[in-house]
Amino acid sequence: MASYLILGAGKFGRLALKRLARQDREAAFWVVDRAPAALAAARDGTQAAHFIEEDAVAFLRKPLARSPWDWLIPMVPVHVAYACLAADPRVAREWQAVEVPEAVGAGVQVARRGPRGELFLSRAEHRCPDDCEAGPVCSISGESRETPLYEELAALAIPGFQPLVVASRQLAPGVGGYPPGELAALARNLAGCRTRALIATACRCHGVVHGLKRRE
């Protein structure tokens, strides 16, 4: 039996709830979304869960030490790990956003710049199926995925930048997540960072990277 915190009750959040419940009928679920209509749609399923109407990042900014969840499933259209850091007043006082170097996307099939200098990365030039198994070989292209993208990002050696990576693990077809404690570990690692930081969350094939530098 495991416990899951699903952030987002949209299409993919509901798929996560359905597929994880199918795998583990004894599992416990919490679903957070600020949209009442999305939560209502999630409630229409057969799986019992705790439904919470609140912004996902605001919810996560509450103390996590007593959290009952084994896994956090981010299904909202924001980089949750970075957004949690940016919402921390201590981080906001000491750090500011900086553009991610192009070198971070070198060798990755798709690297697209976001509006705040972040990079969205993907090894897939095609639309992935929503029930992808994320195996060591792509089921669509046949290309090797033996080394996960999160390992490649963690091993980056870019002068002046330290990569801090949250690895998203495959929990069900098309569903990835990480233990909530990874967010606290990320904050500790950033506090000890003496260079600019690359804040990344990635699975085997896809990722997003934001940059931070200390304020002068």
Report the CATH number at residue 53. 3.40.50.720
What pLDDT was estimated at residue 9? 95
What is the spatial distance between Cα 89 and Cα 102, in angstroms, rounded to a whole number? 29
What pLDDT was estimated at residue 66? 58
Shared domain check, 107 and 56:
no
206: which 2 tokens? 């896809």
Shared domain check, 84 and 55:
no
What pLDDT was estimated at residue 127? 80
The residue-averaged pLDDT of 38-65 equals 85
Q: Is the pLDDT of residue 209 over 70?
A: yes
The residue-averaged pLDDT of 117-143 equals 76
pLDDT tens, position by position, 61-72: 887 545 789 999
- If one compares 196 and 107, the residue with the highest pLDDT of the two is 196
Count of structural domains, the chain: 2
State the pLDDT confidence band at 46, using cuts at 50, 70 and 90.
low
What pLDDT was estimated at residue 107? 85
* Domain, as residue range, for 127: 78-216
State the pLDDT confidence band at 144, using cuts at 50, 70 and 90.
low
Query: Last residue of a domain, which of 47, 77, 107?
Result: 77
State the pLDDT confidence band at 44, using cuts at 50, 70 and 90.
confident
For 152, list phi and psi in degrees, rounded to 5: -65, -40
Q: Is the pLDDT of residue 146 over 80?
A: no
Of the chain, the percentage scoring pLDDT greater than 90 comes to 78
What is the spatial distance between Cα 77 and Cα 56, in angstroms, rounded to a whole number? 10
Shared domain check, 27 and 15:
yes
What is the spatial distance between Cα 101 and Cα 86, in angstroms, rounded to a whole number? 19
Q: Is the pLDDT of residue 202 over 60?
A: yes
199: helix, coil or strand? strand
